[in-house]
Amino acid sequence: MRVIHLKMCYTNEKGVEVKSMSYKEHVKKYLEYCEFRKELDWNTLKAYRIDLRQFFEYAQEDIPEKNIIENYITQLHKTYKQKTIKRKIASIKAYYNYLEECEIINENPFRKIKVKFKESSILPRIIPREEIERLLNCMYTYEAIGSEKHYKYWLRDVAVVETLFATGARVYEISNIKADCINLNTGLIKIMGKGSKERYIQIASADILDILKKYYAHNLEAIQKSGFFFVNSRGNRYTEQSIRLMLKKYTMLAGIERNITPHMFRHSFATYLIEEGVDVSCVQQILGHSSIKTTQIYIHIASKKQAEILREMHPRNRMNIRRVA
């Protein structure tokens, strides 16, 4: 078995041999590299940190070798769903690529590890149109209830849910919208997506834009102080978890039994646009998908609606055509 050699020491410019860093120090340097050189977003950095910590807790070595990595991958398959496994392996592979590029290791074990596997296709869950309507109507009934403070937070919650459905943006993208990234006159929003990729989405509804303007006017001081457009009761960023809990509260108030999550608005947004005949490449651009294959999954969902329409509305249904005996 070939050994991956970790450079345990190096010679500095004065010719003095210096001991190398531990894996914790290497990981710290790597995450700094990802944050400042690659400019990865906070969520990606968080995932890398968790994935690498779990890997090293399993391996109990500074630079685990090929057999340990393969055993860990096997353990992942026993524990997690394939989407999670794929992400965790990608995190570890990216770290080893970094070690190789920095000449910390002289051989990258991932060059000899097969990590490809068939990922099961799970259709995204969408919210039925009538439940979206029911949820939003329920939220609007709470407009006149309570104090000015209540009104401020009610405006925020309605604005968040309306923006989720109006843009199809991810919940962390909504949570991280900066105050200077939304133009309330034109309705244009700059979204920071995965890998810090920018895209622009238009709020086309005058009603939604009116809600956003009212929310902004009633929360101006907190918004300007925090720098974020959506703020919580303490004047800080309205976090992803807070949005999930808020949505759960209103779902219960609306008497909807379905567990509605923020991401389901993204799935629903894409599916209903395709059902209305919007080109899939246009939907891809709005959603910020790097590959059109990711967007095409919504075509399969929309095809169910298509089958329903053809079954009920096809003109042949109203024709007097003889059947096979």
Does the annotation count 298 as an active-site position? yes
Does the annotation count 149 as an active-site position? no
**Cα–Cα distances in angstroms (integers) from residue 26 to residues 7, 8, 186, in the given order:** 12, 12, 47
Does the annotation count 77 as an active-site position? no
Residue 201 burial (CB < 10 Å; 0-12/13-18/19+)? Answer: buried
Residue 203 burial (CB < 10 Å; 0-12/13-18/19+)? Answer: buried
Continuous H helices in the chain: 23-32, 42-59, 66-79, 82-101, 129-140, 148-167, 171-175, 206-218, 220-226, 240-253, 262-275, 280-287, 292-313
Contact predicate 300/214, CB 8 Å: no
Letter for the amino acid at 41? D
Does the annotation count 244 as an active-site position? no
Per-residue tokens: 250: 């209103």
Q: Which of 170, 218, 237, 267 is catalytic?
A: 170
Instruction: Give the separation between CA 281 and CA 311, rounded to whole angstroms.
Output: 27
Letter for the amino acid at 236? N
Does the annotation count 266 as an active-site position? yes
Q: Which of 194, 200, 248, 267 is catalytic?
A: 194
Q: Which of 88, 266, 267, 272 is catalytic?
A: 266
Letter for the amino acid at 278? V
User: Any residues with CB less than 8 A from the CB of 115 and at least 6 apart, and which?
Assistant: 73, 89, 93
Does the annotation count 289 as an active-site position? yes
Annotated active-site positions, please? 170, 194, 263, 266, 289, 298
